[in-house]
Structure 1
């Protein structure tokens, strides 16, 4: 079985990958603590995830379509193993808007699992899942 298609832990889709990511999140938090800019945590997570043997991409482009037309773009903070979107925050607490942001990233992409990681006064994470069967087919952009 290849690592982008890891076996679920219990009933968790990409459970092994998300477990590693959450462990790395706590390692970074424990080493840096609270109070840095989000960009510091972003660079630190990239390094630590890579050190943990995970494949990472940063600022992944996610186009948004409406009625077959490109109407906007998202850029996901980090994409791990071509399977899990990470949205990083350095806020006092997680807000409903943060959940909505990650959920929209999942809707706009082929990824089904996302982690919202907050490097606030207390480290917090949320795991969101949006099954591909619930997504509408996204139209492909054809070159003219």
Structure 2
């Protein structure tokens, strides 16, 4: 599956979760439900994956964690905030760079319509 095909499935799954839960919950609730939904759809999903920093050839644990990694290709960063801002985008971009993934989805569930809370982030582009 390509990153774009995976992303389409993720967007639909996020929609399903948002319809069921609505806005206003903690990030952890949306994360758990989205992981469940994606696994239910048959995708390989890893949550809270440790992401080390490679410094001078040494892998250092600096506390970075990917919220959700799908099919070892697409990173999902979950938020439940009043609005997304540049720091959220920078965080997702950093995770893409450190993991060498090409595509990330920054998803804010604290919105009336989930389509307004989803941003595609591509490694190497702002």
If the length of structure 1 is used for normalisation, what is the TM-score? 0.78
How many residues align? The count is 121
User: Aligned with 2:16: secondary structure?
Assistant: helix
Aligned twin of 2:21: 32
Render the CA deviation track for 1:86-125: whole Å, top value 9, x for unaligned: 0000011111110000000011112111100100133211
Higher-helix-fraction structure: 2
Aligned-residue CA RMSD (Å)? 1.7
Aligned twin of 1:41: 30
Q: Say which one has the larger Rg.
A: 1
Aligned twin of 2:79: 89
If the length of structure 2 is used for normalisation, what is the TM-score? 0.88
From the superposition, tell whether residues 71 and 31 of structure 1 become closer, same or farther in structure 2 (CA, over 3 Å).
closer
Q: CA deviation at 1:71?
A: 6.7
Contact 1:64 1:73 in 2 (8 A): no
Aligned twin of 1:98: 88
From the superposition, tell whether residues 17 and 64 of structure 1 become closer, same or farther in structure 2 (CA, over 3 Å).
same
Which one has more relative contact order, counting CA pairs under 8 Å at least 6 apart? 2
Aligned twin of 2:70: 80
Superposed counterparts of 1:31-70, under 5 Å = 31-69=20-58, 70=60
Render the CA deviation track for 1:18-60: whole Å, top value 9, x for unaligned: 0000010011001100111111101100111111121100111
- CA distance, structure 1, for counterparts of residue 22 and residue 63 of structure 2: 32
| Stretches of structure 2 lacking an aligned partner (at least 5 in a row) | none
